[in-house]
Amino acid sequence: MPLSPLPVGRAPETSQDTEKGAEASPIESVGSELRPPAQVMRLQRLGSFHQSRLSFLRILLRRMTGERWRLQRTYWDVDSTGVGTAIYEARGPARTYSLIAFARSLADADRSDRVIANAWDASFALFDGVPNAADIKRLSAQVPLQEAGRVSRSELTLSRANRSVRIFDHVRQALAAGRQPDPEVLNETGYLMRTTAVYGSGKFGAIDHRFLRDRDELAAPFQAEMLTVYLIRQFSFDIVEHLASADAPSQASTLAPASKRALGVGNATGLGMAPFLINHPVLFNNWILARETALQRIRSLPYATENTVDAFRDVVGRARQCASTWSSAHVGYQSRIKHYRQDLARLTDWMLKTDCFERRFPWDAVFCWAQDQLSIEGQEAVVSLLFEPHGELVDDLVAMMHADETDSHVLDGSMTVADMMAVIESGYASALETDFTNHEQSARFWYVSEEKLEPRIGERHCEPGADRESPLAASRDAVALYQVCRQFDAHDPIAVLVLQYPDLRHVAHRLQTLMRYPYAEIQDNLIAASLQPIDMLRCKLSFFGANHFDPRSDRWVRITLARHAPLMDELTQFADDWIYPPAA
Amino acid sequence: MTFDCSLGETEALVMRAGRGAGLSWGQAQEAGRAVVRLAAAGLPAVTWLASALPKIQATPYAGRCPGNPFDLSGAVANKPSPDTAPGVRPGLCPVALGCGLADALPINARRCGTAVFEFESVWSPALIAGFLLPVAKRLGLSVRLKFNQTEMVTMHGLISSNGDPQCLSIEQAEHVLVILKLSDDTEHAAMLATDSSPGMTRCEIDDQVYAQLQAYAYKTYVPSTAVTRAEGAGAGLTDND
């Protein structure tokens, strides 16, 4: 049963008892507060989130493993130059989904990560069911066009990927020579192919998500997109082996399973992902609330079992090993990663000395120590790590991570101006103290470029286009609404205000909608000169299940998904915590 | 020729087109949602909205905005201001009117009995039902919209209409009545019995209407320059990975 959002300060009840008995209710006075939004909903913290058991790719693999889905390649017609078509089937207990891949081979100079690119090494559609010849013919004409084409209600996602210049040819040449590629080269990049967009939910004619959410396997967020990425990973192995075999039919080898597992799918994420968190605030609230609720349940456990302590020590060790392969050319992130490694080392040392596991509320002690001693990066890593040995407390929270966004809120015009002002005073206090006439506070504007409709950020005071600004500056607009409210009588209905000031309708609607959702609003100025959009990107990507964040600027980040994941024919052979590879 | 669009695409396109024609972001968002509610009921609401956009663009907000829809005292017929562009018949914007009425429903619902509003010269009046549907459902009201020898009713999340479809699609109705009252079980049962709305999951948009909406939507996009192309989105122009 889905959990409904609760006011901050009260965690949902859990029926979990500990192995040491239930002399106390699981929710006691210590740690019965959820972390306050003022702490959690700051970009500095949101941009330090790590993947966890509640990340969407892990949710997908957990389901496919538990339900014993059958994944296989069912069609391969690719020539020696890498041009052709492939189909991968994912057969679940209720339905089958097919990834159709259209491969081509680009010249290096034609390869670009940008949304404004026009050609890719491979393009994909996730089909609802098993495609027939007519479907494949239709899609072969449309899918390679990507944004310039159209898909139909039979398709769930539309995506594309490019080969990694860094390692694809190295792997191809090694395999063609009959040997395995250099593991260090594999580890340095972590993927053979990199997606540059994965569109779902009604985009370019695909089926709307609202018509899929009754399907159990698609109820959790972005499951179709995660399945797409997971199958693209398999395609990336198959295409490099195919080309190596074409190069040297008599001596080419295939990529060892261990090498495949060490590779995921890359993704180049720009600003396209950032507006999502602002435009889907109730959904975002539910993701964060699930995460915070999981944390709170664990903190509230009166005792720790020997098994969970051992499992926690083990996963911390494996996380340290994972951290050793995380690198970035971004100067700021180099420092972050260094502190993160130091944090995990300090955590390890502390756990050897602490007796907190012998006392009550041990996990709360771990959490509090991390909050006190570690960087924000380390703190949020500890939050994710605490989830690992507590699947029975965490995994059911997936059920609350969705939101019905169709007509879920309609403006109530009877709300008084006074009540609206109170909402702004309580939820946007720091915004009310911000001078948005200050250039630094209003330096940026979000917009959509005419060129391929690519979301971008502009510099308000030196670029044209601010007159076409997207309505993504919630804090500034809340302040504007507050100032207009003061012109009205306290008892006037807000309906009168928005009729006279239609430019404020969107923010009145937003503020009213979000009253019940404490984790819906990012509590930073999203048009400030100091904004680091990669914080927003990383937050969303952490929920996807990404790791190895590698920013290339303040608004562009490379990541990997499905690295260390089991291969599609060995899902049931691996534990759910595959994302932390076994200790070396 | 038509475009087969998802409902999400339809909503986004209508929102962008509305904004491009001069609606505020908030009203444009409401227009997108209202059109999709009607389209899901099998009604050609995208075309209705498209026919109103040129008039919306040509008329300042004060000229197309209704008066206070909460005033039940004098039953003064709300009519458009004469402040419109030459060559454009004055009229009331269905988006502003629909938003205003929907906002006012919770206030009016507290007043017992039947409430009647009259409006003059409303562009694409059938659109109004799309704005009123969710609020009427939440408040347990039935809302009747009468114009041009036709009638639309919304209650309990359903929409029905009778009369000639061409009458429903009229581009401007000189006299529109909006009648609110608490719905009763008999009415609801009758509506369910006659509900033949197909529950559309897609929206077929005439390709000329689609092109028109795209033209308005493009007014919300910012032309690209070499600098903004290179720096605005973050990623480089060439692949070096």
- Using one digit for the tens of pLDDT, what is the confidence trace for A76-101? 999 999 999 999 999 999 999 999 99
* B135 interaction partners in chain A (CB closer than 8 Å): 410
pLDDT at A4: 34
Phi, psi torsion values for A91, nearest 5 degrees:
-105, 110
Using the predicted structure, report yes or no on whether residue A21 has a pLDDT greater than 60: no
CB atoms A502 and B224 under 8 Å: no
* A450 interaction partners in chain B (CB closer than 8 Å): 218, 221-224
In three-state form (DSSP H/G/I as H, E/B as E, the rest C), the secondary structure along A335-397 is HHHHHHHHHHHHHHHHHHHCCHHHCCCHHHHHHHHHHHHCCHHHHHHHHHHHHHHHHHHHHHH
B26 and A CB contact within 8 Å:
yes
Distance between CA atoms of residues B18 and A516, nearest Å? 29
What pLDDT band is residue A24 in, cutting at 50, 70 and 90? very low
CB atoms A447 and B221 under 8 Å: yes
What pLDDT band is residue B63 in, cutting at 50, 70 and 90? confident
Structure tokens of A480? Answer: 């504007």
B214 and A CB contact within 8 Å:
no
* A498 interaction partners in chain B (CB closer than 8 Å): 26, 99, 103
Distance between CA atoms of residues A114 and A124, nearest Å? 17
- Across A477-486, A527-536, B105-114, B208-217, least confident range: B105-114
Measured in angstroms, the CA of B37 and the nearest CA of chain A are apart by: 9
Terminal CA-CA length for chain B: 43
Distance between CA atoms of residues B179 and B202, nearest Å? 30
Terminal CA-CA length for chain A: 41
* A509 interaction partners in chain B (CB closer than 8 Å): 26, 29
Q: What is the mean pLDDT of residues B52-56?
A: 96
pLDDT at B232: 63
More confident residue, B112 or A219: A219
CB atoms B221 and A114 under 8 Å: no
Within 10 Å of residue B72's Cβ, how many Cβ atoms? 14
Distance between CA atoms of residues B71 and B77, nearest Å? 11
Q: What residue of A is the nearest CA neighbor of B235?
A: A556
CB atoms B233 and A115 under 8 Å: yes
Q: What residue of B is the nearest CA neighbor of A532?
A: B234
Phi, psi torsion values for B52, nearest 5 degrees:
-85, -20
CA distances in angstroms from A126 to A88, A153, A209, B166, listed in the order given? 9, 11, 13, 40
Do the beta carbons of residue B91 and residue B80 sit within 8 Å? yes
CB atoms B104 and A413 under 8 Å: yes
- Identity of the amino acid at A64: M
pLDDT at A373: 97
**Percentage of the residues of chain A whose pLDDT score is greater than 70:** 93
pLDDT at A552: 87
**What does the DSSP assignment read for B28-55?**
HHHHHHHHHHHHHTT--HHHHHHHHHHH
Distance between CA atoms of residues A523 and A537, nearest Å? 16
Measured in angstroms, the CA of A567 and the nearest CA of chain B are apart by: 24
3-state secondary structure at position B140: coil
- Could you tell me how far CA B182 lies from the centroid of its own chain? 23
Measured in angstroms, the CA of B4 and the nearest CA of chain A are apart by: 7
Distance between CA atoms of residues B149 and B171, nearest Å? 14
What pLDDT band is residue A105 in, cutting at 50, 70 and 90? confident
* Tens digit of each residue's pLDDT (9 = 90 or more) over A115-149: 667 789 999 999 999 999 999 999 999 999 999 99
B111 and A CB contact within 8 Å:
no
Distance between CA atoms of residues B77 and A381, nearest Å? 63
Using the predicted structure, report yes or no on whether residue B191 has a pLDDT greater than 80: no
H helices of chain B, in order, are 7-20, 25-40, 45-58, 61-64, 94-109, 128-139, 165-168, 185-194, 207-217, 226-231
* Partner-chain residue, chosen from A153, A468, A503, that has the shortest CB–CB distance to B222: A468
**What does the DSSP assignment read for B88-108?**
S---B-HHHHHHHHHHHHHHH
Distance between CA atoms of residues B227 and B180, nearest Å? 55
* B202 interaction partners in chain A (CB closer than 8 Å): 153
CB atoms A499 and B96 under 8 Å: yes
B60 and A CB contact within 8 Å:
no
Using the predicted structure, report yes or no on whether residue A172 has a pLDDT greater than 50: yes
Using the predicted structure, report yes or no on whether residue A264 has a pLDDT greater than 90: yes
- For residue B14, the number of C-alpha atoms closer than 13 Å in the C-beta half-sphere is 34
Distance between CA atoms of residues B155 and A315, nearest Å? 55
Using the predicted structure, report yes or no on whether residue B224 has a pLDDT greater than 90: no
What does the mean pLDDT of chain A come to? 91
pLDDT at B83: 62
* A207 interaction partners in chain B (CB closer than 8 Å): 6, 201
pLDDT at A13: 39
CB atoms A111 and B238 under 8 Å: yes
Distance between CA atoms of residues B131 and B103, nearest Å? 9
pLDDT at B192: 74
pLDDT at A538: 95
Measured in angstroms, the CA of B223 and the nearest CA of chain A are apart by: 5
Using the predicted structure, report yes or no on whether residue A175 has a pLDDT greater than 60: yes
CB-based contacts of B18, cutoff 8 Å, min separation 6: B27, B28, B31, B32, B49, B53, B56, B95, B216
* Partner-chain residue, chosen from A112, A463, A556, that has the shortest CB–CB distance to B234: A556
CB atoms A495 and B103 under 8 Å: yes
Structure tokens of B129? Answer: 């039902």
Using the predicted structure, report yes or no on whether residue B238 has a pLDDT greater than 60: no
* A162 interaction partners in chain B (CB closer than 8 Å): 239
In this prediction the ipTM stands at: 0.93
Do the beta carbons of residue A405 and residue A427 sit within 8 Å? no
In three-state form (DSSP H/G/I as H, E/B as E, the rest C), the secondary structure along A94-119 is CCEEEEEEEECCCCHHHCCCCCCCCC
* Tens digit of each residue's pLDDT (9 = 90 or more) over A551-578: 988 888 989 999 999 999 999 888 889 9
CB atoms A495 and B30 under 8 Å: no
Burial of A76 (0-12, 13-18, 19+ CB in 10 A): middle
- Could you tell me how far CA A529 lies from the centroid of its own chain? 25
Structure tokens of B1? Answer: 């020729």
* Tens digit of each residue's pLDDT (9 = 90 or more) over A412-425: 999 999 999 999 99
CB atoms A558 and B241 under 8 Å: yes
More confident residue, B66 or A417: A417
Q: Can you give the pTM of this predicted structure?
A: 0.92
Mutate to test the interface with A, among B111, B133, B138, B239 (most CBs of A within 10 A): B239
Measured in angstroms, the CA of A110 and the nearest CA of chain B are apart by: 8
Q: What residue of A is the nearest CA neighbor of B104?
A: A413
Distance between CA atoms of residues B104 and A495, nearest Å? 6
Measured in angstroms, the CA of B59 and the nearest CA of chain A are apart by: 15
Distance between CA atoms of residues B152 and B129, nearest Å? 7
Mutate to test the interface with B, among A155, A156, A189, A407 (most CBs of B within 10 A): A407
Distance between CA atoms of residues A494 and A422, nearest Å? 13
DSSP state of A461: T
CB atoms A152 and B33 under 8 Å: no
Do the beta carbons of residue A161 and residue B241 sit within 8 Å? no
- Could you tell me how far CA A545 lies from the centroid of its own chain? 6
Do the beta carbons of residue A529 and residue A47 sit within 8 Å? no
Using the predicted structure, report yes or no on whether residue B235 has a pLDDT greater than 90: no
Measured in angstroms, the CA of A112 and the nearest CA of chain B are apart by: 5
Structure tokens of A132? Answer: 């027939």
B222 and A CB contact within 8 Å:
yes
pLDDT at B75: 39
What does the mean pLDDT of chain B come to? 85
pLDDT at A473: 96
Measured in angstroms, the CA of B22 and the nearest CA of chain A are apart by: 11
Distance between CA atoms of residues A100 and B79, nearest Å? 56
CB pairs under 8 A between A and B: 195
- Could you tell me how far CA A408 lies from the centroid of its own chain? 23
Dihedral-angle region of residue A271 (phi above 0 means left; psi in -120 to 50 means alpha; beta otherwise) = alpha
Measured in angstroms, the CA of A109 and the nearest CA of chain B are apart by: 7
Using the predicted structure, report yes or no on whether residue B68 has a pLDDT greater than 70: no
CB-based contacts of A57, cutoff 8 Å, min separation 6: A51, A226, A229, A230, A544, A545, A561, A562, A565
Q: What is the mean pLDDT of residues B70-88?
A: 58
Dihedral-angle region of residue A215 (phi above 0 means left; psi in -120 to 50 means alpha; beta otherwise) = beta
* B235 interaction partners in chain A (CB closer than 8 Å): 112-114, 268, 270, 552, 556
* Partner-chain residue, chosen from A164, A414, A494, that has the shortest CB–CB distance to B241: A164
pLDDT at B72: 41
Distance between CA atoms of residues A407 and B59, nearest Å? 29
Using the predicted structure, report yes or no on whether residue B111 has a pLDDT greater than 50: yes
CB atoms B235 and A556 under 8 Å: yes
What pLDDT band is residue A214 in, cutting at 50, 70 and 90? very high
* A556 interaction partners in chain B (CB closer than 8 Å): 233-236
* B222 interaction partners in chain A (CB closer than 8 Å): 447-450, 456, 458, 464-465, 468
Mutate to test the interface with A, among B37, B156, B219, B222 (most CBs of A within 10 A): B222
CB atoms B7 and A202 under 8 Å: yes
User: By C-alpha distance, which of A505, A458, A444 is closest to A477?
Assistant: A505
Structure tokens of A229? Answer: 């990425």
Q: What is the CA radius of gyration of chain A?
A: 25
* Tens digit of each residue's pLDDT (9 = 90 or more) over B131-186: 999 999 998 899 999 998 899 999 988 898 887 778 899 999 999 999 988 877 77
Q: What residue of B is the nearest CA neighbor of A492?
A: B107
Do the beta carbons of residue A310 and residue A545 sit within 8 Å? no
Do the beta carbons of residue B163 and residue B149 sit within 8 Å? yes
pLDDT at B82: 66
Measured in angstroms, the CA of A189 and the nearest CA of chain B are apart by: 9
B75 and A CB contact within 8 Å:
no
B237 and A CB contact within 8 Å:
yes
Residues belonging to chain B? 241
Q: What residue of A is the nearest CA neighbor of B136?
A: A410
Within 10 Å of residue A264's Cβ, how many Cβ atoms? 30
Structure tokens of A512? Answer: 């009213």
pLDDT at A11: 40
CB atoms A505 and B27 under 8 Å: yes
- Across A52-56, A355-359, A384-388, least confident range: A355-359
Using the predicted structure, report yes or no on whether residue B88 has a pLDDT greater than 80: no
Q: What is the mean pLDDT of residues A431-449?
A: 95
Using the predicted structure, report yes or no on whether residue A386 has a pLDDT greater than 50: yes
Buried b or exposed e, range B98-128, using 16+ CB within 10 angstroms: bbbbbbbbbbbbeeeeebebebbbbbbbbbb
Q: What residue of B is the nearest CA neighbor of A152?
A: B4
What pLDDT band is residue A290 in, cutting at 50, 70 and 90? very high
E-only strand ranges, A150-290? 155-163, 191-199, 264-269
